[in-house]
C-alpha cells in the first residue's frame, strides 16, 4: 500500500475537529499500530514545513489538523468579515461555560460539554470573544480562558453580573419523586 500517507491525510480531513485515533486509522488501513504511528510521524514532519498552513498535532493517541499559529491574524480578518453571521449552538454553549465559570481550562470545558473544544476555542479567539487569561496551577499548567470586552459588547452587557442566574440543580426537592 504505497498511498498510506495520502489516505491518512484524507481521513484526518474527513474527521475534522474530532480527530483520528491511532487505533481507528490502523484498523481502517488494515495495518499494525506501529506502522501507522510511523506514517503519522512522517506526515507530521512534512506539515512542519514553513510552506504549509496546517500542522498535524497529536493529543494522546488522536491526530488532527490545526492551522498554524501564523494564520491567526488572517483568521481574525476572515472572522471579522463573517462576524455578522450568528454563532453556532456549540459556540454559544462554549461561550456560556466560559462566561459563567471563568477563568476555565480547555479540559474543564470539555468535561462540561462532553466534546473536544480545541477548534471551538480557536474560533472564539479569532472572533475576539474569548482570550487567554494566564495559566492554571494544575499539572501541565493549562491555559485559562475568559470572555473579552468584545463578548460583552456583542451581547450588550455592561458586566458579567448581568448574565441570568443559573438554576440550582444541586438541591433535590425531597417532596418530589422523579420516578413514580
pTM: 0.52
How many CB atoms lie under 10 A from the CB of residue 29? 17
What is the DSSP-derived secondary structure letter of residue 67?
E
pLDDT-derived band at 103 (thresholds 50, 70, 90) equals very high
Separation of alpha carbons 130 and 127, rounded Å = 8
pLDDT 10s digits, 16-31: 878 899 999 999 999 9
Give me the mean pLDDT over the 71-75 stretch.
85
pLDDT 10s digits, 6-15: 999 999 999 8
Instruction: Give the CA distances from residue 167 to residues 164, 170, 171, in Å, rounded to whole numbers and listed in that order.
Output: 9, 9, 10
How much is the mean pLDDT over the chain? 86
Amino acid at each position: 500500500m504505497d498511498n498510506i500517507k495520502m489516505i491518512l491525510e484524507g481521513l484526518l480531513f474527513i474527521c475534522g475537529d474530532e480527530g483520528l485515533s491511532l487505533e481507528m486509522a490502523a484498523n481502517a488501513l488494515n495495518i499494525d499500530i506501529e506502522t501507522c504511528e510511523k506514517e503519522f510521524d512522517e506526515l507530521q514532519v512534512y506539515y512542519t514545513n514553513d510552506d504549509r498552513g496546517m500542522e498535524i498535532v497529536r493529543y494522546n493517541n488522536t491526530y488532527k489538523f490545526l492551522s498554524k499559529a501564523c494564520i491567526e491574524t488572517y483568521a481574525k480578518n476572515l472572522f471579522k468579515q463573517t462576524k455578522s453571521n450568528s454563532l453556532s449552538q456549540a459556540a454559544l454553549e462554549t461561550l456560556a461555560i466560559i462566561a459563567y465559570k471563568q477563568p476555565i481550562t480547555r479540559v474543564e470545558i470539555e468535561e462540561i460539554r462532553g466534546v473536544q473544544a480545541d477548534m471551538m476555542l480557536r474560533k472564539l479567539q479569532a472572533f475576539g470573544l474569548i482570550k487567554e487569561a494566564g495559566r492554571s496551577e494544575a499539572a501541565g499548567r493549562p491555559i485559562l480562558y475568559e470572555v473579552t470586552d468584545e463578548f460583552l459588547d456583542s451581547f450588550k452587557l455592561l458586566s458579567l453580573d448581568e448574565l441570568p442566574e443559573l438554576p440550582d440543580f444541586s438541591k433535590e426537592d425531597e417532596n418530589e419523586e422523579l420516578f413514580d
